[in-house]
């Protein structure tokens, strides 16, 4: 048995355990053992602001993705098989394009001379171009678009498992469609809601390219903090400490979520 799993264990050791271990070592070693890097992370305002902004943007993206993704998943679940496949294909289609390309596309759309500002000025809705990019707004819009499939797919998988007979039973007992939805369908779909929200929130915590391009240097998320510590200040210890704190935050989120729903379901294994 050990011989069969040894290659997999070696891969895990080489690709996960050793890099994470080296990351943790760098965060506490600089000419000897030190916790200076962690002291800076937990006491300096720039780190606190970056972590707070990252969690605020992640929460906003998750809520918007849920509001947009739930109707899409519900529609895909309600349509006949062929139309359902078409809707899901449109949801998954952006995966075939690089995140970098999609971020640049949003940059072109939202800039002062972009399509959206030009269209609003053509309609005389605005007289001056709106600041839609190089700020938090542009970052949130582009991130929601990129992460939306991670909300729709878990929701759709959960909705597929809800027996259609329950809706018919509610209707046969005199309940209106809206009452049946809120009293029967919505509660049964909550595991999918929790799984989708967890996936989107955790992925957003580590986003780098989109806030770098759409934020214009004003929206400094944690991943950018890591990058700047390495590229600008050559402080690998500080960057490692930030990365370790972010990793522990993600593990804490998964631990809390596991109290309510199986992690196999969150990760799409069931």
Tokens of 166: 């329950």
Position 265 confidence tier, pLDDT thresholds 50, 70, 90: low
Q: CB-based burial of residue 194 (10 Å sphere; 0-12 exposed, 13-18 middle, 19+ buried)?
A: middle
Q: Is the pLDDT of residue 268 over 70?
A: no
Tokens of 112: 């002062």
Is residue 33 helix, strand or coil?
strand
Give the list of residues 6+ apart from residue 51 with CB closer than 8 angstroms, or none.
Answer: 222, 245
Vertex 202 angle, CA 198 and 205, to 5°: 145
Q: Is the pLDDT of residue 267 over 70?
A: no
Residue (of 143, 154, 57, 149) closest to 99 by Cα position: 143
Give the list of residues 6+ apart from residue 149 with CB closer than 8 angstroms, or none.
Answer: 91, 92, 94, 95
Position 64 confidence tier, pLDDT thresholds 50, 70, 90: very high
Q: Is the pLDDT of residue 270 over 60?
A: no
Rounded Cα distance, 101 and 67, in Å: 25
Residue (of 221, 200, 196) closest to 209 by Cα position: 221
pLDDT digits (tens, 9 = 90+) for 190-242: 989 998 999 999 999 988 888 888 887 777 888 888 888 888 888 889 999 99
The overall pTM is greater than 0.85? yes
What mean pLDDT value characterizes the chain? 88
Rounded Cα distance, 130 and 112, in Å: 7
Vertex 105 angle, CA 196 and 53, to 5°: 50
DSSP string for 51-109: HHHHHHHHHHHHHHHHHHHHHHHHHHHHS-HHHHHHHHHHHHGGGGS-HHHHHHHHHHH
Q: Is the pLDDT of residue 144 over 80?
A: yes
Rounded Cα distance, 38 and 40, in Å: 5
């Amino acid at each position: 048995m050990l011989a069969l799993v040894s290659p997999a264990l070696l891969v895990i050791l080489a690709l996960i355990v050793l890099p994470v271990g080296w990351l943790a070592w760098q965060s506490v070693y600089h000419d000897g053992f030190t916790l200076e890097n962690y002291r800076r992370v937990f006491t300096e305002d720039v780190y606190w602001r970056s972590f707070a902004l990252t969690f605020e943007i992640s929460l906003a993206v998750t809520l918007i993705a849920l509001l947009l993704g739930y109707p899409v998943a519900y529609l895909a679940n309600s349509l006949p098989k062929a139309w359902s496949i078409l809707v899901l294909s449109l949801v998954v289609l952006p995966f075939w394009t690089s995140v970098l390309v999609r971020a640049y596309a949003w940059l072109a759309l939202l800039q002062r001379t972009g399509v959206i500002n030009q269209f609003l000025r053509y309609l005389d809705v605005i007289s001056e171009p709106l600041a839609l990019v190089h700020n938090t707004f542009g970052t949130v819009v582009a991130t929601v678009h990129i992460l939306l499939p991670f909300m729709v797919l878990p929701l759709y998988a959960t909705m597929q498992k809800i027996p259609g007979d329950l809706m018919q039973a509610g209707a046969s007992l005199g309940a209106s469609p809206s009452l049946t939805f809120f009293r029967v369908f919505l509660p049964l779909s909550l595991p999918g809601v929790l799984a989708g929200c967890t996936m989107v929130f955790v992925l957003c915590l580590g986003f780098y390219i989109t806030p770098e391009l759409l934020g214009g240097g004003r929206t400094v998320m944690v991943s950018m903090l890591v990058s700047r510590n390495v590229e600008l200040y050559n402080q690998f210890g500080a960057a490692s400490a930030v990365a370790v704190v972010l990793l522990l935050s993600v593990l804490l989120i998964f631990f809390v979520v596991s109290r309510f729903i199986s992690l196999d379901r969150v990760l799409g294994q069931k």
